Amino acid sequence: MPRMPSLRLDTSLELLLERLAAASGPAALATIVATAGSTYRKAGARMLIESGGRLTGLLSGGCLEQDLREHALAALADGAARIVEYDMRRDDDLVFGIGAGCEGAMRILVEPAGPATATLAALRAAGRELAAGRPAALAVLHVGPPAELGTRSHPAAESAPLAAALAPTCATVLATESSQHLRWQDAGGPREAWVQYLAPPPRVLICGAGPDAEPLVAQLRALRFAVTVVDHRPAYASAERFAGADVRLGAPAELATHADLGRCFAAVVMSHHLPSDAAYLAALAASPVGYVGLLGPRPRRERLLADLGAAAAALLPRLHGPVGLDIGAVTPEGIALAIAAELHAAAAGRPGGPGAQPRRPS
């Protein structure tokens, strides 16, 4: 069975980049760099705070955000990054005006992230790698001279070079697909950084662009999964029907020439045309796609597997049909929700049932 690629379900970086492109005023970036105890979010979580007060993303359940706004405004006023720490493990945390009761502690870097900042350049550089289906690393220096604190990327942006001490660790993070804390000492004193591994977001291939594919693609795009839609019917293979998706027109038997199957962690076959579905399944049987969903009842699945002959053996360990969690769905929108939920569970390495436990680290 093909190895499931490393995936990232937290696509808040893409959300922040979209908002930064649309924002008209200054903005600050707040990044959790370390936690202890029970906290709403963990290291690597980010929130954008605009000068007008708009927030994109959350670092807590809403209990810290107002205080972080004040720190963000101060960072925007003087142009300097700063560290903010919250310790809610004590009974007297009400003195901070928070009273969250989360019983955890967080260390957060707040830094300007508007136009012409090294922070924005680093985020964009990482975003370009991820959009191309490649992993990236973001290094957040949070201990050191105030002028050096901030977020940098690997590969580095031209306008935001990476400190020499961080480059080897970033390379290791990419090679091991694992984030790391880094501490070191140089002539300027102690340094500490959180180096975050960022895998590409899940990419899903939809084989068949009929009307019921529209709500499924909309659900997946709401999760910020990358989506490719393929259909052999020109009337269906229309980009206008699938906002944010890559839509391709092509014959099912030539699926590998129309989609980069090596970048797709999952495919859903749903053309509602038996010969087309058989051709899609044959192409996917010979591909590295680790999860193949098939829409339709079990008798139809068995007929298609019989038509595949020997190729069915290579497909069976990866085949999920009927695709989708059993939530009692009867409408196209409900079926789309069931399929999207099952795909999300698969991307997270979870079986998708009640009380499911992880099968691999997230």
Q: Taking residues 143-156, what's their average pLDDT?
A: 90
Closest by CA to 225, choosing from 250, 212, 242, 249, is 242
Amino acid identity, position 252: P
- What pLDDT does residue 360 have? 40
From edge to edge, which strands make up the β-sheet containing 150-154? 150-154, 136-143, 189-198, 180-186
Going from the C-alpha of 52 to that of each of 20, 49, 175, 246, the distances in angstroms are 13, 8, 40, 35
What φ, ψ does residue 184 adopt, rounded to 5°? Answer: -155, 170
Cα within 13 Å of Cα(133), Cβ side: 12
Peptide linkage before 322 cis (omega within 30 of 0): yes
Residues 6+ apart with CB under 8 A from 204: 220, 225, 226, 227, 228, 264, 265, 266, 267, 268, 343
Residue 79 CA to residue 82 CA, distance in Å, equals 10
Q: How confident is the model at residue 359 (pLDDT cuts 50, 70, 90)?
A: very low
Q: Is the pLDDT of residue 314 over 50?
A: yes
Q: Residue 309 region, left (φ>0) first, then alpha (ψ -120 to 50), else beta?
A: left
Mean pLDDT of the region 92-111: 68
pLDDT of residue 350: 85
Which of 78-97 are b and which e, b meaning 16 or more Cβ less than 10 Å from the residue's Cβ? eeebbebebebeeeebeeee
Mean per-residue pLDDT, 208-226: 96
Q: Output the pLDDT for position 61.
A: 77
What pLDDT is stored for residue 60 in this prediction? 84
Mean pLDDT, rounded, for 96-122: 81
pLDDT, position 6 = 76
So what's the pLDDT on residue 93?
A: 47
Answer whether residue 1 shows pLDDT above 70: no
**pLDDT(135) > 70:** yes
Query: Tell me, what's the pLDDT at 90?
Result: 64
- Average pLDDT of the chain is 89
Residue ranges and CATH numbers for the domains of the chain are 12-198 (no CATH), 203-348 (3.40.50.720)
Q: What is the pLDDT confidence band of residue 221, given thresholds at 50, 70 and 90?
A: very high
Lowest mean pLDDT among 37-41, 120-124, 175-179: 37-41
The pLDDT of residue 186: 84
Residues of the chain above pLDDT 90, percent? 71
pLDDT score, position 361: 35
Cβ neighbours of residue 131 under 8 Å, at least 6 residues apart? none
- Position 35 pLDDT exceeds 50: yes
Write down the pTM of the prediction.
Answer: 0.81
Helix/strand/coil percentages in the chain, nearest 5: 35, 25, 40
Mean pLDDT of 313-331: 94
Give the pLDDT confidence score for residue 96 in this predicted structure. 47
pLDDT at 158 over 80: no
Q: pLDDT tens digits, residue range 233-254?
A: 999 999 999 999 999 999 999 9
Q: What percent of the chain has pLDDT over 70?
A: 92
245-280 residue pLDDT tens: 999 999 999 999 999 999 999 999 999 999 999 999
- Pairing between β-strand 46-50 and β-strand 55-56 as defined by DSSP bridges: antiparallel
pLDDT for the residue numbered 5: 56
Residue partners of 177: CB distance under 8 A and separation at least 6: 6, 135, 197, 199
pLDDT of the residue at 267: 98
Structure tokens given for 348: 């997270």
Region for residue 328 given its phi and psi (left: phi exceeds 0; alpha: psi -120 to 50; beta: otherwise): left
Which pLDDT belongs to residue 7?
Answer: 85
Is residue 340 predicted with pLDDT exceeding 70? yes
pLDDT confidence tier of residue 353, bands split at 50, 70 and 90: low
Is there a contact between 263 and 225 (Cβ–Cβ < 8 Å)? no
